[in-house]
C-alpha cells in the first residue's frame, strides 16, 4: 500500500504545486571515479502542463525521468509533487505513469491484458475494470486489437498500447520517453495527437522526451532543454523557439538548425555585407551588455532568401552545391567563403533557375536575424 500522503488519486491538495525539482544532481560510478550526469537541475512544472524535454544524446534526459520515477536516487537535491516530498517513496508509491522508449510490452499477454496489468489495484468489479480498459483502447483507436498479442502489432499500434498502459493508472505525473520514435509520418501525427488529447482530458502533468523539435513544438506547453546535464532553457515553448537564449539551444529547437556568422567587435564581417547602421546598433547592444566579444549572427534556413533584398538585410554570396526538393519548397545547399555549408529553404519557384556550381546571392532581413554575444554558444543580445 502507498504510504500516507502518497496515494495516486489526488491525495495532495488540488491547489498544491505540481512537480518541483530543486538542485538535483546525479553521478554514476566508473570504477573509483564519479561521472556527473545531471548538475543542479531545477525547475517547477504547474499541474496539468505538458513539457517537452529536449537535448542532445547523453544530455541526461532519460536519467532525469528515472529519477522522477524513483528508479534511481539523486546524489543531491529534492523532488516533490503536490507539496509531497518523494525522497522516501518507492516507484510504486509515486503518482507516476511511465512509458519507455522501447514500449516494453508483455509479449505473452494480449493488448487488453497488457493494459489491465498496468492498472492500479482499486478493488473494482471485473466488468467495470474491463470497461475502463475498453474505453481507453477505444479512445486510442485500438479497441479492435484487444485480443491480439504484441508480436502481431505494428510499431504505431505498440506505441498506442504503451500509452494506454501509462494512462490506465490515472497518474498525476506522466513520463513518456521517445513516444514517437521509429514511427512513420502518419502514425507520428496520430500518436502525437492522442498523447495531447489524453493529457488534456486527464490534466496529468506530463513530460515527453523527444529528439525531434517538430514533435516538441507541436504538443508542448513548455520546453525544458538539457545540455551536458544542465538546464540550459526552461519556459513557454513558443518563446524559447522564437528567441532561444543561446545558439546551442537554437540548434535544438528548430529541425533545420541555425546558421552563424561572426561580426568582429570592430564591426568587420569577412563573410557577409552588413550596414553601418547595424554595426552601430550592435556596438550599442554590446555596450549595454558590457561585452567586448564578437557578435554571432543567427540565421534560420527558412528566413534566408535569394536575390536582391527589399529591406535592410545581411547579405552574403555562396557557391551552390545542390538543390534538394522539400515539397513546395527547395533546400539550397551552398558553400560559404569561410568553408561552412549554408542551407536556405526557399519557395521552389525561386530555386528553379539557379545553376549548380554558380555563386548565389543570399540575404536575411536584419529584423529576422538574431544576435548573440560570443564566443560560442553565445547569449542573446538585448
Q: What is the CATH number of the domain that holds 289?
A: 2.40.50.140
Give the Cα separation of 373 and 227 in Å (integer).
19
Give the Cα separation of 323 and 300 in Å (integer).
17
23 lies in a domain? Answer: no
The residues, any chain, with a CB within 8 Å of residue 147's CB and separated by 6 or more, are 110, 111, 112
Q: Cα angle at 208 between 205 and 211, to 5 degrees?
A: 160
Q: Which of 150, 169, 255, 159 is nearest to 213 (CA)?
A: 255
Give the Cα separation of 223 and 118 in Å (integer).
28
Beta strands, E only, the chain: 19-30, 33-45, 50-54, 76-81, 84-85, 96-99, 173-177, 205-209, 222-227, 230-236, 259-263, 295-299, 305-306, 313-326, 329-336, 341-347, 359-365, 370-373, 379-380
176 lies in a domain? Answer: no
Q: List, in sequence order, every residue forming a beta bridge with 104; answer none if it has no partner.
A: none
Q: Cα angle at 20 between 216 and 10, to 5 degrees?
A: 95
19 lies in a domain? Answer: no
Range of the domain at 341: 256-380
Low-confidence stretches of the chain (pLDDT < 70) are: 1-16
Is there a cis peptide before residue 365, judged by omega within 30 degrees of 0? no
106 lies in a domain? Answer: no
151 lies in a domain? Answer: no
| pLDDT score recorded for residue 165 | 92
Output the nine-digit C-alpha cell for 165.
498502459
Cβ–Cβ < 8 Å for 161, 115: yes
The size of the chain, in residues, is 382
267 lies in a domain? Answer: yes
**Phi and psi, residue 226, nearest 5°:** -105, 135
247 lies in a domain? Answer: no
| pLDDT score recorded for residue 29 | 86
Q: Tens digits of per-residue pLDDT, 323-357?
A: 999 999 999 999 999 899 999 999 999 998 899 99
Q: List, in sequence order, every residue forming a beta bridge with 262; answer none if it has no partner.
A: 296
Residue showing cell 505525473: 173
311 lies in a domain? Answer: yes
Single pTM value for the model: 0.89
Give the Cα separation of 228 and 248 in Å (integer).
11
State how many domains the chain has.
1
Output the nine-digit C-alpha cell for 273.
555585407
Amino acid at each position: 500500500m502507498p504510504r500516507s500522503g502518497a496515494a495516486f488519486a489526488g491525495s495532495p491538495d488540488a491547489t498544491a504545486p505540481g512537480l518541483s525539482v530543486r538542485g538535483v544532481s546525479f553521478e554514476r560510478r566508473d570504477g573509483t571515479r564519479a561521472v556527473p550526469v545531471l548538475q543542479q537541475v531545477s525547475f517547477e512544472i504547474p499541474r496539468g502542463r505538458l513539457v517537452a524535454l529536449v537535448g542532445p544524446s547523453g544530455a541526461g534526459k532519460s536519467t532525469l525521468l528515472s529519477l522522477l520515477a524513483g528508479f534511481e536516487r539523486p546524489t543531491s537535491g529534492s523532488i516533490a509533487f503536490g507539496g509531497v516530498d518523494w525522497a522516501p517513496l518507492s516507484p510504486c508509491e509515486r503518482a507516476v505513469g511511465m512509458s519507455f522508449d522501447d514500449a516494453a510490452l508483455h509479449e505473452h499477454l494480449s493488448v487488453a491484458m497488457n493494459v489491465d496489468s498496468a492498472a492500479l489495484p482499486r478493488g473494482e468489479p471485473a466488468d467495470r475494470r474491463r470497461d475502463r480498459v475498453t474505453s481507453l483502447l477505444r479512445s486510442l483507436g485500438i479497441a479492435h486489437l484487444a485480443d491480439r498479442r504484441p508480436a502481431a502489432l505494428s510499431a504505431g499500434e505498440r506505441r498506442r498500447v504503451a500509452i494506454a498502459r501509462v494512462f490506465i493508472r490515472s497518474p498525476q505525473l506522466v513520463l513518456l520517453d521517445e513516444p514517437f520514435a521509429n514511427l512513420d509520418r502518419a502514425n507520428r501525427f496520430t500518436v502525437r495527437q492522442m498523447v495531447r488529447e489524453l493529457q488534456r482530458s486527464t490534466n496529468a502533468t506530463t513530460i515527453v522526451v523527444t529528439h525531434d523539435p517538430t514533435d516538441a513544438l507541436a504538443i508542448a506547453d513548455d520546453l525544458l532543454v538539457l545540455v551536458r546535464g544542465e538546464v540550459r532553457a526552461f519556459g513557454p515553448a513558443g518563446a524559447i523557439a522564437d528567441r532561444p537564449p543561446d545558439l546551442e539551444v537554437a540548434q535544438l529547437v528548430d529541425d533545420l538548425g541555425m546558421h552563424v556568422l561572426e561580426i568582429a567587435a570592430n564591426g568587420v564581417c569577412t563573410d557577409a555585407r552588413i550596414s553601418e547602421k547595424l554595426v552601430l546598433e550592435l556596438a550599442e547592444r554590446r555596450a549595454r551588455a558590457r561585452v567586448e566579444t564578437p557578435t554571432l549572427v543567427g540565421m534560420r534556413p527558412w528566413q534566408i532568401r535569394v536575390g536582391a533584398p527589399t529591406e535592410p538585410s545581411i547579405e552574403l554570396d555562396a557557391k551552390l552545391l545542390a538543390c534538394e526538393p522539400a515539397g513546395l519548397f527547395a533546400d539550397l545547399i551552398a558553400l560559404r567563403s569561410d568553408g561552412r555549408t549554408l542551407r536556405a529553404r526557399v519557395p521552389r519557384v525561386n530555386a528553379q533557375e539557379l545553376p549548380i556550381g554558380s555563386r548565389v546571392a543570399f540575404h536575411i532581413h536584419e529584423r529576422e536575424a538574431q544576435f548573440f554575444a560570443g564566443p560560442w554558444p553565445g547569449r542573446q543580445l538585448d
